[in-house]
């Protein structure tokens, strides 16, 4: 029988833990942690993500601010905003929501973020520290995946973990973290040039799918009893829904789930843990200061 890695329930529990800690801090006369977000342009999904991050911040007692900048913002203007956020003592951590408009060099922007306020864990300093196993901010989505596996006591040591996707935000850090001490998986990372993708997936005890293609993973690619983590988030039109769409993942759950021992649902799996991980990083940034 397949069991759910219930990210929604776990996120509620962890938010409760964070809220308690914030209550204790403010009861002692300390100010609340502050998370800021920068959003450039009008991307609908990005607006939703930032709104969800702001809502979650308030739920745990953080203060927050959102810097909304137009699509026409130049790289120089965005760098000025980042310099301001780096230097504002009232801001513990901030994120720049990706993707950015095409005319802005994303890496130049990330490189300008102070590593001490980089609660997304995207700067070279934090990525480097993560790879070395040093104290750092870990990117929120892979951190969420790790939290799910740890708190559900999923056995990982010596298991073959196949990661589909090599993005800087998910695949690359997830593959690194799961191979390191504490998880001790044998990791295979697959991407668009991988040959025998299906054969490799079939060898996976733990399959982490972050390939960005709706319902890409089908039942013929998954071993019986596998642990399946679906990072995908895609909106598809659905006239039966009030908002006109529903959310699906990178895995065809209708046929794959029955083969698995554990599976993250979409929605309600990795997504809620991603936001909670950002809150955890922000609390850590606050405590460091």
Binding ligand GUN by CB under 6 A: which of 92, 118, 120, 230? 120
Contacts for 163 with CB less than 8 Å, ≥ 6 apart: 171, 174, 175, 178, 187, 188, 189, 190, 208, 210
Task: Say if residue 36 is exposed, middle or buried (CB neighbours under 10 Å; 0-12, 13-18, 19+).
Answer: buried
Residue nearest to ligand GUN (CB): 98
The Cα–Cα gap between 155 and 261 comes to: 12
Residue of 118, 120, 230, 257 with catalytic role:
120
Q: Which stretch binds ligand GUN (CB under 6 A): 75-83, 93-101, 236-244, 280-288?
A: 93-101
Q: What is the largest CA-CA distance in the chain?
A: 59
The Cα–Cα gap between 176 and 162 comes to: 12
Nearest distance in Å: CB 38, ligand GUN: 9
Phi first, then psi, for residue 41 (nearest 5°) are 90, -165
Nearest distance in Å: CB 99, ligand GUN: 7
The string of DSSP letters for 95-114 reads EE-SPPPTTS-HHHHHHHS-
Residues 157-176 interacting with ligand GUN (rule: CB under 6 A)? 169
Closer to ligand GUN by Cβ: residue 138 or 200: 138
- The verdict on 277 binding ligand GUN (CB under 6 A) reads no
Residue of 15, 92, 97, 205 with catalytic role:
97
- The verdict on 38 binding ligand GUN (CB under 6 A) reads no
- The verdict on 276 binding ligand GUN (CB under 6 A) reads no
- The verdict on 81 binding ligand GUN (CB under 6 A) reads no
How many positions of this chain bind ligand GUN (CB under 6 A)?
Answer: 8
Contacts for 91 with CB less than 8 Å, ≥ 6 apart: 34, 35, 36, 65, 85, 117
Query: Is position 116 annotated as part of the catalytic site?
Result: no
Q: Which stretch binds ligand GUN (CB under 6 A): 23-31, 59-67, 68-76, 96-104?
A: 96-104
Q: Which residues pair with 207 in a beta bridge?
A: 162, 228
Cβ neighbours of 172 (radius 10 Å): 21
- The verdict on 98 binding ligand GUN (CB under 6 A) reads yes
Binding ligand GUN by CB under 6 A: which of 40, 100, 140, 204? 140
Task: Say if residue 199 is exposed, middle or buried (CB neighbours under 10 Å; 0-12, 13-18, 19+).
Answer: exposed
Nearest distance in Å: CB 232, ligand GUN: 12
Closer to ligand GUN by Cβ: residue 91 or 95: 95
Query: Is position 97 annotated as part of the catalytic site?
Result: yes
Q: Are strands 227-230 and 234-237 parallel, antiparallel or unpaired?
A: unpaired
Nearest distance in Å: CB 79, ligand GUN: 16
Query: Is position 3 annotated as part of the catalytic site?
Result: no
Closer to ligand GUN by Cβ: residue 210 or 221: 210
- The verdict on 127 binding ligand GUN (CB under 6 A) reads no
The Cα–Cα gap between 3 and 216 comes to: 21
Closer to ligand GUN by Cβ: residue 10 or 140: 140
Q: Which residues pair with 223 in a beta bridge?
A: none
- The verdict on 96 binding ligand GUN (CB under 6 A) reads yes
Chain residues in the site for ligand GUN (CB under 6 A): 95-98, 120, 140-141, 169
**Active-site residue list:** 53, 97, 120
């Amino acid at each position: 029988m397949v069991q759910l890695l219930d990210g929604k329930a776990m996120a509620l529990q962890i938010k409760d833990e964070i809220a308690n800690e914030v209550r204790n801090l403010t009861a002692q006369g300390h100010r609340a942690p502050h998370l800021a977000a920068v959003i450039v342009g009008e991307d609908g999904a990005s607006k939703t993500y930032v709104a969800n991050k702001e809502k979650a911040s308030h739920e745990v007692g953080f203060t927050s601010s959102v810097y909304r900048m137009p699509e026409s913002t130049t790289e120089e203007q965005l760098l000025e905003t980042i310099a301001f956020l780096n230097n504002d003592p009232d801001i513990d951590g901030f994120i720049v929501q990706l993707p950015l408009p095409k005319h802005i060099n994303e890496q130049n922007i990330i490189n300008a973020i102070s590593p001490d306020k980089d609660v997304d864990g995207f700067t070279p300093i934090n990525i480097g520290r993560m790879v070395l196993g040093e104290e750092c901010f870990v990117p929120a989505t892979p951190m969420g995946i790790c939290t799910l596996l740890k708190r559900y006591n999923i056995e990982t040591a010596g298991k073959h973990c196949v990661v589909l996707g090599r993005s800087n935000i998910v695949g690359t850090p997830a593959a690194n973290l799961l191979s390191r001490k504490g998880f001790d998986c044998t990791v295979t990372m697959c991407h668009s040039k991988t040959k025998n993708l299906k054969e490799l997936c079939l060898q996976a005890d733990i399959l982490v799918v972050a390939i960005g293609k709706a319902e890409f993973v089908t039942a013929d690619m998954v071993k019986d009893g596998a642990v399946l983590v679906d990072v995908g988030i895609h909106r598809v039109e659905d006239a039966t829904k009030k908002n006109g769409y529903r959310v699906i993942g990178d895995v065809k759950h209708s046929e794959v789930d029955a083969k698995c021992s554990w599976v993250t649902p979409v929605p309600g799996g990795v997504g809620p843990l991603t936001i909670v991980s950002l809150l955890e990083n922000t609390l850590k940034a606050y405590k460091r200061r």
